[in-house]
Structure 1
């Protein structure tokens, strides 16, 4: 999710501004280790799945925000590097509500991948409207690419080895990427899909957009509480899943394993 306007400036940037942070590398390590634990059935398989999915989701969140920041940097806003957005550190993308509360709540109770974080972009520094739109596009596009990558083993018939819980967890993680991508492509103010359209709107429409944008994600979440819209949303997600080869039967198994407390 990329939004906001900040005063940008260009200055000498240390290499540390572009290196993956220790926090991100630690999360990647947890993802790999918990994946091995899930694959081998080491210890409590439900705890293994929880750690594997939670760590994988956090890695994807960092990549989502990094994609926004990288395109913004290439497009002229060098302030994103000063803010630490190019280090993949999830704490740099922090927004108390968007980064932690809502994504965790929706993941735990609804099995929906709701991207958190926030990359503040100085849109005045971006060279053209196309690049401005591309900044918003690449975030959810990253989730879609990750979803495709995660289902490749299923498409190649590699899902025969290891503990079955591993494949259920992988399917559920791919499902989360799809939900995140589709939600973020909704053309609503305050969501990447709406921000993608913003540079092409008239000044009058942009003013109206800015009034709604702070509440856009909350409005989208409220809509998902409607049984009709919720059912329609999941139909769309599973339809996309069928297109890319996501085994829908394993998604529910992955969710059940992930929610070890139920």
Structure 2
């Protein structure tokens, strides 16, 4: 995508980024609702209306800056509220809620991948439309795989930590959750020291291979 202008990149990436971030959170809220927690639904968060999900920094500023700078793109929406008191098995049910976000991203990556394949085929007869769909599909695959991989890293409060916590004994789980106030700073430290990439990429590559095998692309 290096040959694209900034305006073209914004046009191509906007919808994939918004859907990836918003549906990730909606998936959390929907699974929580199915497990008995009405909090997200009561607060109007089980909707595709971006206005109720947007975090000005995480949904707009960070992705836009990363897009302009040319780094890998990620972002976040306002987290949906989840109340463990409604769950029959709080920590295992919370793990199910947590895994729903990355699973939603994987499903979207597959959908965008199929759109990318269609765009490639359309370029023969409709090159402009085909190229737009191909680039949009590629953007959708990339942002969703990055979000899924990033959230599976077990640093509280990322989704991976909720999954790990479900299998920890009580005392160790409580100690693990004490890291949560520092999770964002740990993530920033990993980014600025270059340590995030070797942690993230094996997960990203594994998820990418799953998507490629499903959409039939080598």
Task: Give the TM-score range, shorter chain.
Answer: 0.7 to 0.9
Q: Name the counterpart of 2:140.
A: 173
Deviation at 1:66, TM superposition (A): 0.6
> CA–CA distance in 2 between the matches of 1:154 and 1:224?
29
Deviation at 1:145, TM superposition (A): 1.2
Q: Name the counterpart of 2:107.
A: 145
Deviation at 1:63, TM superposition (A): 1.0
Within the candidate set 12, 35, 52, 1:75 is matched to 35
Are the aligned partners of 1:150 and 1:170 in contact in 2 as well (CA < 8 Å)? yes
How many aligned residue pairs are there?
Answer: 203
Within the candidate set 217, 222, 225, 2:184 is matched to 217
Are the aligned partners of 1:191 and 1:217 in contact in 2 as well (CA < 8 Å)? no
> CA–CA distance in 1 between the matches of 2:176 and 2:153?
14
Deviations 1:5-47, CA, capped at 9 Å, x for gaps: xxxxxxxxxxxxxxxxxxxxxxxxxxxxxxxxxxxxxxx9752
User: Is residue 54 from structure 1 mapped to residue 26 from structure 2 by the alignment?
Assistant: no
Any unmatched runs of 5+ in structure 1? 1-43, 247-262
> CA–CA distance in 2 between the matches of 1:215 and 1:102?
20
1:101-250 correspondence runs (5 A): 101-109=61-69, 110-128=71-89, 129-154=91-116, 158=121, 160=123, 161-163=126-128, 164-227=131-194, 229-230=196-197, 233-234=200-201, 236-238=203-205, 240-245=207-212
Do the aligned partners of residues 208 and 100 (structure 1) sit closer, same or farther apart at CA in structure 2, a change above 3 Å counting? farther
TM-score normalised to structure 2 length: 0.77
Deviation at 1:84, TM superposition (A): 1.2
Do the aligned partners of residues 215 and 95 (structure 1) sit closer, same or farther apart at CA in structure 2, a change above 3 Å counting? farther
TM-score normalised to structure 1 length: 0.66
Deviation at 1:242, TM superposition (A): 4.7
Do the aligned partners of residues 108 and 234 (structure 1) sit closer, same or farther apart at CA in structure 2, a change above 3 Å counting? farther
Deviations 1:172-191, CA, capped at 9 Å, x for gaps: 22111111100001111110
**Higher RCO (CA 8 Å, separation ≥ 6 residues):** 1
Any unmatched runs of 5+ in structure 2? 214-218
Structure 1 runs, 4 residues or longer, greater than 6 Å off? none
Deviations 1:220-254, CA, capped at 9 Å, x for gaps: 232133335425634653564355339xxxxxxxx
Query: Which stretch of structure 1 is more off in the superposition, 91-100 or 139-148?
Result: 91-100
Superposed CA RMSD in Å reads 2.9
